[in-house]
Chain A
Amino acid sequence: MFEIFIILFSIFVLIAAIAAVEMKDLLSSIMALSVVGFGLVIIFIFLAAPEVVSAQLVIEILCFVSLVVVVNKTSKVDETKLYSMREISPVSAGLFFAIIFIIFGLWGIQDLPKFGEPVMKVSSVYIQKVIAEIGAKNIVTAILMDFRAFNTLIEVVLIITLFVGVATILRKRGRKNAESD
């Protein structure tokens, strides 16, 4: 029953993604991009994953707002021409590697367990140890903040690195020196 909804919304997300790439007006392109994000939110609701839903929802709203602000301050029309003669070799190379990736991906998918029948190798250990050793009620947070705390630490480092990058590109002193030269 739910698989039909998941397939329907996946097709919907695909159409919205193609529309987001092809649109010339950047504001409507951002609208299509956020349709992709909220379609993913609905798919995650059908897959019963409330943690991923909340993270995806908040990040999608923040991305939408900041993209709209950026487009308002810069240009509103997409002026890049993708289909000129010079672009043929990168596009064909991309298609070639996509086909190779699809072939090897289909080859690798055959060894995976079926949808809805997980192999409980690591996660069964997590489920047994959560209440006895950690005592947190929400098992997802217990896994993220204890068994996989290194993952979370790298997430925090990533945000700080992002700030360093933004501050390096948009610093004031470098631009003033460039103007005076």
Chain B
Amino acid sequence: MPRVIKILTNYVIGPIITFGVYVFVFGHLLPGEGFDGGMIVASIFILCIIVYGKEEMEKRISIGNAVFISVFSGILIIIMGFVGMLGLRFEHKYYLDNFLSQGTFSHLFSGGTVPIFNILVGLSITFGFYAIFAYLSEYRTEA
């Protein structure tokens, strides 16, 4: 890649990762949710793979770690679903029920389990798409 693109990428990485994390942390207050924020952060990782090459990026985040984070946050959502079946609030006993208190309206700590699900889904989507694209970028046809 030409040097101009590398320098521009360096300037863009910080703001876009901050924006993506903001979208999925504040997902219960503003438009956007875990899926959108995760895709934004994943898009900047994919830009890094294209510009710097896969080997350089895999020194920072290896594919094994990315898959581990992605699968682990999925498993955490499943476990929190079973915690919701205990009926800690309102005597509801559904799978994936909201078991934390609702908090102050329109503050950051509100909505019970909604922001936690947002963050877990965002992490899972981010590292899942990073791993998929890293695997795909390895493939070449024989010239």
A binds B: yes
Q: Do residues B39 and A59 form an inter-chain contact, with CB atoms below 8 A?
A: yes
B:36-67 near A, CB below 8 Å = 36, 39-40, 42-43, 46, 50, 67
A-B pairs with beta carbons under 8 A, tally: 149
Per-residue 0/1 for A33-51: is the Cβ within 8 Å of any B Cβ (1 yes, 0 no)?
0000000000000000011
The residues of B that contact A157 with a CB separation of less than 8 Å are: 74
Q: Do residues B39 and A142 form an inter-chain contact, with CB atoms below 8 A?
A: no
Q: How far is the CA of A129 from the CA of B50 in the complex (A)?
A: 46
Q: How far is the CA of A135 from the CA of B101 in the complex (A)?
A: 9
Known contacts A155-B121, A170-B135, A58 near B102 by CB under 8 Å:
no
The residues of A that contact B135 with a CB separation of less than 8 Å are: 163, 166-167, 170
The residues of A that contact B88 with a CB separation of less than 8 Å are: none
**Is A159 positioned at the interface, with any CB of B under 8 Å from its CB?**
yes
Q: Do residues A140 and B33 form an inter-chain contact, with CB atoms below 8 A?
A: yes
**Is B21 positioned at the interface, with any CB of A under 8 Å from its CB?**
no
Known contacts A51-B31, A59-B39, A141-B118, A66 near B136 by CB under 8 Å:
yes
The residues of B that contact A160 with a CB separation of less than 8 Å are: 70-71, 74, 124, 128
B interface residue count range (under 10 / 10 to 19 / 20 to 34 / 35 or more): 35 or more
A:123-147 near B, CB below 8 Å = 131, 133-138, 140-142, 144-146
A interface residue count range (under 10 / 10 to 19 / 20 to 34 / 35 or more): 35 or more
The residues of B that contact A51 with a CB separation of less than 8 Å are: 31-33, 36
The residues of B that contact A136 with a CB separation of less than 8 Å are: 28-29, 110-112, 114
The residues of B that contact A131 with a CB separation of less than 8 Å are: 105
The residues of A that contact B71 with a CB separation of less than 8 Å are: 160
SS of B interface (majority) = helix
Per-residue 0/1 for B106-143: is the Cβ within 8 Å of any A Cβ (1 yes, 0 no)?
10001111100110010011001101110111111100
A:153-173 near B, CB below 8 Å = 153, 155-157, 159-160, 162-163, 166-167, 170
The residues of B that contact A163 with a CB separation of less than 8 Å are: 67, 70, 128, 131-132, 135
Q: How far is the CA of A149 from the CA of B113 in the complex (A)?
A: 10
Q: Tell me the smallest distance from the CB of B13 to a CB of chain A, in Å.
A: 16
Interface residues of B (CB under 8 A from A): 23, 27-36, 39-40, 42-43, 46, 50, 67, 70-71, 73-74, 77-78, 81, 90, 95-96, 98, 102-106, 110-114, 117-118, 121, 124-125, 128-129, 131-133, 135-141
Can you identify 18 A-B contacts, CB atoms within 8 angstroms? A51-B31, A51-B36, A54-B23, A55-B35, A58-B39, A58-B43, A136-B111, A136-B112, A137-B111, A145-B117, A152-B35, A152-B77, A152-B121, A153-B77, A159-B70, A160-B124, A160-B128, A166-B136
- In the A-B complex, the 10 residue pairs with the smallest Cβ-Cβ separation, listed nearest first, are A135-B102, A136-B111, A149-B96, A136-B28, A159-B128, A58-B39, A50-B31, A145-B117, A145-B114, A137-B106
